[in-house]
Structure 1
C-alpha cells in the first residue's frame, strides 16, 4: 500500500515544503527536536485548510502529508548512517 495514493494532488506540494520548514526549524532551534513533527503538523493543518477549505478531509490530508514528510526524512536519515 502506497501512502501517496491517499494524498490528494493539491497536497503533494506540501511534502517538500514541510521538509524544508522542518530543517529550518531544527537549524534555528526554535523548538526542541521532539516537538518538530507536532509543529509541522500544525503548519500543515493551516496550509491545507487554506488550500482546500476547513473540512475533515483537509485535516486528514494534513496528517498524511506531515506523515509522509517526517517518514521521508527519517528514511533518508537512516540510509545515510
Structure 2
C-alpha cells in the first residue's frame, strides 16, 4: 500500500475514498452493469484529477499543458485503481474461509 501512495498525490487520496462510495452507490442502485462501474469511476477520477491539476498549475507553454494532461490522466487512473483496490480489500476481509 505504501508503494501506491508514493505515486499518488496525497491531496487526491480523498478522491479515491469518494469514488469508493460512488461505486457502492452505483452497485446498490443497479443503474449500470457491474462491469461498467470501473470504467465510470475511471472517467470520473480523470475528470476530477484534471480539474485539480489545471487549477494548481501554471500552464504557460505547450509542454506545460501536455504535462498537465499526462499528470491528470495518470493520477486519475491511479486513483481509480486505488478505489477498486480498497473495494477488494473490504470484500476479501469480510469473506469467511
The whole-number CA distance in structure 2 between the counterparts of 1:10 and 1:79 is 27
Taking the aligned partners of 1:74 and 1:58, their CA distance within structure 2 comes to: 24
Cross-structure match for 2:62? none
- TM-score (normalised: structure 1): 0.92
Q: Secondary structure at the match of 1:13?
A: helix
Q: 1:21 corresponds to which residue?
A: 22
In the alignment, the residues of structure 2 paired with residue 30 and residue 69 of structure 1 have an alpha-carbon distance, to the nearest angstrom, of: 19
Distance 1:12 1:56 in 2: 18
The CA distance in 1 between the partners of 2:35 and 2:93, in whole Å, is: 21
Instruction: State the alpha-carbon separation in 2 of the partners of residues 75 and 9 from structure 1.
Output: 20
State the SS of the aligned residue for 1:30: coil
Give unmatched runs, 5+ long, in structure 2: 55-67
Within a 5 Å distance, the mapping from 1:1-81 to structure 2 comes to 2-53=3-54, 55-81=69-95
Q: Give the secondary structure class of the aligned counterpart of 2:40.
A: helix
TM-score normalised per structure 2:
0.78
* CA radius of gyration, larger in: 2
C-alpha deviations, 1:50-78, integer Å up to 9, x for none?
A: 11125101110000000011011101101
- Shift, 1:10, TM fit: 2.4
